[in-house]
Amino acid sequence: MPVDLAHIRQVMAEADCLYSEAEVEAAIDRVAAAINEEMAERNPVVFCVMNGGLIFAGKLLPKLGFPLEMSYLHATRYRNQTSGGELFWKAKPELSFIDRDVLILDDILDEGHTLGAIADFCRRAGAASVRIAVLIDKDHDRKARPDLKADYVGLSCVDRYIFGYGMDYKGYWRNAPGIFAVKGL
């Protein structure tokens, strides 16, 4: 089914800007400062969760002033279903993190089912510690479990359908220069 680009453009034209590019960049600076303070001596392995975490990771990593190893991972719980099940790896972590501190970078902590499963996987596989940094923490009471929290959060967000800075609307607008909410959602 072809994409209706007119609709995709209309979504952006009508979207509410929740955070401007300058506000997002300032939030990334704050996250970087906190990570620099806490992890500079830990020799961490940093994993970017694809695809959403790509822009956040790309903006954040140059601001981390210490040695680290970096890779990516891609996991889903959906596998072409509408509800999540077991964690399915599209790309497993390739760096060893046994007895290492792990920092997971992702775009958003929404309900957190997949992000929680990734963190649990890292712990079970031998990571010394696991920390999570997200650009957005969505404010609602539907988290996958009460103990699931990000260690580093750029911005909190109302419970709306958002896109920009890695988050997408139907596969589009990950490149939007700010955080936007779809009108009416």
Q: What's phi and psi for 39, nearest 5 deg? A: -120, 0
Residue 144 pLDDT = 77
Q: How far is CA 150 from CA 47, 70, 96, in A?
A: 14, 19, 22
Alpha-carbon dihedral angle through residues 139, 123, 130, 86, given to the nearest 10 degrees: -30
The whole-number pLDDT of residue 82 equals 36
Q: pTM of the predicted model, to two decimals?
A: 0.92
Using the structure block, give the residue that is written with the tokens 């990771």.
Answer: 57
178-181, strands of its sheet edge to edge:
16-20, 178-181, 162-163
Written as tens digits, the pLDDT of the chain (185 aa) is 678 999 999 999 999 999 999 999 999 999 999 999 999 999 999 999 999 999 999 999 999 999 999 999 998 765 444 345 577 788 888 888 899 999 999 999 988 888 998 999 999 999 999 999 999 999 888 877 888 899 999 999 999 999 999 999 999 999 999 999 999 88
Catalytic pick among 101, 106, 107, 110? 110
- Domain extents for the chain? 21-163
CATH class for the region spanning 21-163? alpha beta
Residue 31: the pLDDT is: 98
Residues 48, 105 contacting (CB under 8 angstroms): yes
Residue 97 contacts residue 105 (beta carbons within 8 Å): no
**Does residue 151 have an active-site annotation?**
no
